[in-house]
Structure 1
Amino acid sequence: MRRGHRAAFIAALTDGLDVRDGTVAGEHADVPVRRYRAADGRAGERLVWVHGGAFSHGGLDQLESHAVSAALARRGIEVVAVDYRRVPAWSRFRDAPAGPLPGVRFPVPLDDVMTVLREHPHAWLGGASAGACLSAAAAARLAAGGEHGPRGLVLAYGTFHAHLPPVPPHIRRRVRGRHRFTQFRPETVRRMNHNYAGSRQAMDDPFAFPGGHAPRGLPRTLMVDADHDTLRASGEAFAAELAAAGVPVEHHVVPGSAHGFLDRPHTPHFTSATALIADRLTRHQKGR
């Protein structure tokens, strides 16, 4: 898509919506946010939404942030999208010494998410891919500190474990022969996560990667995984860990979808997933 066409497309997503950019004063610096609600002022549940991008890419104009937020706002959900600070690009990262990596690393992106969430203590919290990890980790850290956490979590095709859990046969069958869906090999996930954590020691921190640790005190959780995605192994394992800890979990796999489908707003996968999220949040608001 040409730059001018993309700008027009992004602007059209918010026709009829009240969209406002702002900042929230954070621990390290101001955190940019974008608020979405229906232009008529109606607002139901509030969702703090965190985009993905391997912890190192993306932003408020990313479709996984902007298009998702606009689609949910049209369905009556008030959305606050978070532009957390991202770590350096990881695509050339191969390995690192045991010592800390320079630049922005964990817990800075997590601190930014928690800063915004504390401004909206009665909101839901959710995100996609790396944003799902940050959302689950923020809820876990608030619970561990005895702070008021989100009303619930919405986690889309996230990476929750420092190391990708073994990919079960039923997922292997879904990705076999689909080379564009197999970019998340165990070594790829390890490098991506190490690049975010910043050190081998931080890889074991439960607030960097909550998967594989006892998830105590987390709220009800809606999980939406991609069908043709090896990261689904982490999503399914985390859903099982939550259920074992007594957390109410609703887990869905969007048939035929690939990782990052929330970045593709003209697909049926995007439409069905955003409708599912809005429906579940609306049902909880009505007490059903």
Structure 2
Amino acid sequence: MTDYKKLIDAETWAFIERTNSYYPSDTIDYTIAQQRPIYDRMCREFFAGYPQGVTAETTVIAAPAHDVLIRIYRSAAPNASAMVLYVHGGGFILGGLDSHDDVCAELCARTGYEVVSVDYRLAPEHLHPAAFDDVMGAFEWATSTYECPVLLCGDSAGGNLCASVSHATRGHARRPIGQMLIYPGLGGDRSQGSYVTHAEAPMLTVRDLNFYKDIRTGGEDRTGDLTLWPLADADFANLPPTVVITAQCDPLSSDGEAYRDRVVAADGHAFWFEEPGLVHGYLRARHTVGRARSSFTRIVHAVAVLGRGEWIW
């Protein structure tokens, strides 16, 4: 039994308790219609505002499968080396442009890159591959709209979608310049590693993951679907330079390690770092928890470096 009282510090416990006060751990047992306003309220309670000099514009782009709502963030001190396509988390059933609004604004402010957040379709109304199709459509829009390279960045479910797009586009003339994956779910082996050690972790459990998986697919067995689980791919060659950052107290952490190992084994560039004592969803704690603040600085630095086409790890 993992002793979280030893692994997690007082600041992080305070974040967990604050989160649970808005989004109780049994929310997973509610209907999707009930879960969404609870999640949205929690995100509003953690909203940190925009840094000075950042503006945002919400618009719609025409994608092959479906018109997609996006939000474009611009800095008063722009850096045109790259643009960032951001894909939000939320278990494929929650979230949208507002849930990660301040995260995107801060990424924009601290890197100078334009950041485009994607409001992909959610399950269960839109089963897989709807979300993948929307993110792929947004990526293709970005590569045809921006002259600079496109960097993929996403957390949790968004990290999954970023990696899926990277695998699907590695043969394209304009593929991603890099990918920044934040505590992503990539389809790892649930019989070992963090799936066992942290099966009952605060903020995210294996039971939660099973719920999200079944909702996303409508219960259909999609074993081997590379647009669903990037770790199911047999070929990890020619992927963009990849940085994966995970939380120690999270059943998904082993996915980051496994993904790093497979990219490196295929002679690619990949770096994985597990944040000690942090939990899934800690991006919302970046202003109140020292460990989360340091991690967000690492994420910003990685985005900046990848966007310049450099590799320092």
- Scaled by the length of structure 1, the TM-score of the pair is 0.81
Report what 1:158 is aligned to: 184
Report what 2:209 is aligned to: 189
Report what 2:114 is aligned to: 78
Alignment of 1:124-135 (within 5 A): 124-135=151-162
More helix by share: 2
Instruction: Report which stretch shifted further, 199-208 or 152-161.
Output: 199-208
How far, CA to CA, are the matches of 2:160 and 2:276 in structure 1?
22
Decide whether the 8 Å contact of 1:164 with 1:190 is kept in 2. Answer: no
Report what 2:237 is aligned to: 216
- Aligned-residue CA RMSD (Å): 2.9
- For these two proteins, the number of residue pairs brought into alignment is 265
Shift of 1:44: 4.3
- Asked if residue 35 in structure 1 is aligned to residue 72 in structure 2, the reply is yes
Change (3 A) 1:126 1:5: closer
User: Deviations 1:163-208 (Å, cap 9, x if unpaired)?
Assistant: 5351259x82xx49x7525x432x5433422321335342321121
Change (3 A) 1:14 1:23: farther
Report what 1:119 is aligned to: 141
Residue 159 of structure 1 aligns to a residue whose secondary structure is coil
Write out the 4+ residue segments of structure 1 that deviate beyond 3 Å after TM superposition.
1-11, 40-44, 198-201
How far, CA to CA, are the matches of 1:49 and 1:162 in structure 2?
23
Structure 2, unaligned runs of 5 or more: 1-17, 23-39, 144-148
1:124 maps to amino acid:
L
Change (3 A) 1:192 1:140: same
Residue of 21, 24, 46 corresponding to 2:61 = 24
Residue of 215, 220, 226 corresponding to 1:206 = 226
How far, CA to CA, are the matches of 2:161 and 2:247 in structure 1?
18
How far, CA to CA, are the matches of 1:202 and 1:4 in structure 2?
33
How far, CA to CA, are the matches of 2:188 and 2:123 in structure 1?
16
Residue 202 of structure 2 aligns to a residue whose secondary structure is helix
Residue 259 of structure 2 aligns to a residue whose secondary structure is helix
Residue of 234, 243, 252 corresponding to 2:255 = 234
* Identity of matched residues, %: 27
